Structure 1
């Protein structure tokens, strides 16, 4: 059972995250600071959280998998990052289904099919619903705070990417779809009971998605990036993590 205070904290956390997509364009520093700096800084925070925050919990969770899961026990205990790999590959496959944004030389690239556009938005909505669900299952206020702040930074990167790929559809409907998805995921998490091992697997899946988003942004030939900003973010997160 969850205490009322913990449920309230997780609700505030989810509402905060849900507003990131709605208010992203209103952030003045995004307009004043070149995107290559704030995007790389956000990517540095996100990837640091995966390696220093999520992966240790994934290893711990897979070590406690009950024997009742049968053959999956041995597989996951010997391959604790298998769900992370599945998450990364799944998101990579979805990304490859989406055509690149239009350019001056080839404006037809923006005319991707409705099915592809909404499939992409739906996949990210599911991704956000899982994150909302995970927040509902957390029972440590400090863990919730760290997770939410890391996800908020990550969401800014996702918001930028979605605006670039599906600007019209994302502004009209997509942004609100992602906003509602995380709230819906939280509501399902509060009202349902699930085995801890499933939560661990979902964490690994989300970690895979984060890694893919970061790698695509930082190694993209179309978007400028800043290694110094990325490095500063990684070192800052490391310092905070070590001091805890």
Structure 2
């Protein structure tokens, strides 16, 4: 097995950043320098994530379509349109996870008895299971799908570091002790496992293209839910500023 040491050197800091965000995100408040409003911060980072989808992942989907359409081992009658169908499947899969979690949350909660023993709710388990898959796939693509350059990795780490930080704060608010005791460790391990698999394994181009498409749908869904959630007031101005500024940043490195 040939392991690319250079790949480890340039991706490990980003993976470590994501791990630290999930483990100690409670104490990290970078954007508090600009605003104390959590909804504004969430809208800003969501805007950046959506900009990344449209300006980086969409072109990757176009490349993935060409790879699949030209593949002899994955011949389809759809001229590469399968890649967009997989993005739709990703969107629906993560939306289904969110709807199931929301439905279960109406019936149970994480309970703590006097002996400090915790019974984890089904909604918590479903939520964490969906997110660990999402985060693990993202960490794999950190290694195998982003540009193998310090700049490409830095741009990826910047946008998804903010995305994961807001996600961690939301999980702390929603699941409190359940997240602090268990959730943060599970998600941090998901980052490490996804990164490690990325370092040790190389998927065929077809499989990587399909995985990128599936995850693109998930990124769109999760960020849409974060911004459009009915139980919070989104901040359009912050969303627009985050998206447009990060979009300009991406343009400057194209």
TM-score band, normalised by shorter chain: 0.7 to 0.9
Alignment match of 2:74 (pick from 69, 76, 79) = 69
Structure 2: how far apart are the matches of 1:226 and 1:25?
A: 22
Deviation at 1:30, TM superposition (A): 5.6
Structure 2: how far apart are the matches of 1:158 and 1:209?
A: 14
- Residue deviations 1:136-171 (CA, integer Å, cap 9, x gap): 224511322222222112212322332343222211
Are positions 1:191 and 2:200 aligned together? yes
- Residue deviations 1:115-155 (CA, integer Å, cap 9, x gap): 34213212211211111211222451132222222211221
Counterpart of 1:156 in structure 2 is 165
Counterpart of 2:98 in structure 1 is 95
Check whether the contact 2:104–2:123 (CA below 8 A) recurs between aligned residues: no
List gaps (5 residues or longer) in structure 1.
none
Alignment match of 1:85 (pick from 88, 97, 107) = 88
Cα RMSD after superposing both structures: 2.4
Query: Number of residues paired by the alignment?
Result: 238
Check whether the contact 2:83–2:210 (CA below 8 A) recurs between aligned residues: no
Q: What secondary structure, in the 3-state scheme, does the structure 2 residue paired with 1:99 have? A: helix
- Residue deviations 1:169-200 (CA, integer Å, cap 9, x gap): 21111111000111111111211231122222
Counterpart of 1:208 in structure 2 is 217
Structure whose residues are more often helix by fraction = 1
List gaps (5 residues or longer) in structure 2.
112-119
Structure 2: how far apart are the matches of 1:111 and 1:4?
A: 43
Check whether the contact 1:44–1:234 (CA below 8 A) recurs between aligned residues: yes
Q: What secondary structure, in the 3-state scheme, does the structure 2 residue paired with 1:77 have? A: coil
Structure 2: how far apart are the matches of 1:86 and 1:164?
A: 29
Deviation at 1:70, TM superposition (A): 2.7
Check whether the contact 2:55–2:250 (CA below 8 A) recurs between aligned residues: yes
Structure 2: how far apart are the matches of 1:116 and 1:182?
A: 21
Are positions 1:140 and 2:148 aligned together? yes
Alignment match of 1:222 (pick from 214, 227, 231) = 231
Alignment match of 2:49 (pick from 24, 39, 46) = 46
Check whether the contact 1:135–1:144 (CA below 8 A) recurs between aligned residues: yes
Q: What secondary structure, in the 3-state scheme, does the structure 2 residue paired with 1:64 have? A: helix
Alignment match of 2:128 (pick from 89, 100, 121) = 121
Structure 1: how far apart are the matches of 2:220 and 2:81?
A: 21
Deviation at 1:62, TM superposition (A): 2.0
Specify whether residues 110 and 55 from structure 1 end up closer, same or farther in structure 2 by C-alpha distance, changes over 3 A only. Answer: same
Name whichever of 7-16 and 130-139 sits farther off: 130-139
After the TM superposition, list the runs of 4 or more consecutive aligned residues in structure 1 that deviate by more than 3 angstroms. 28-32, 99-102, 108-116
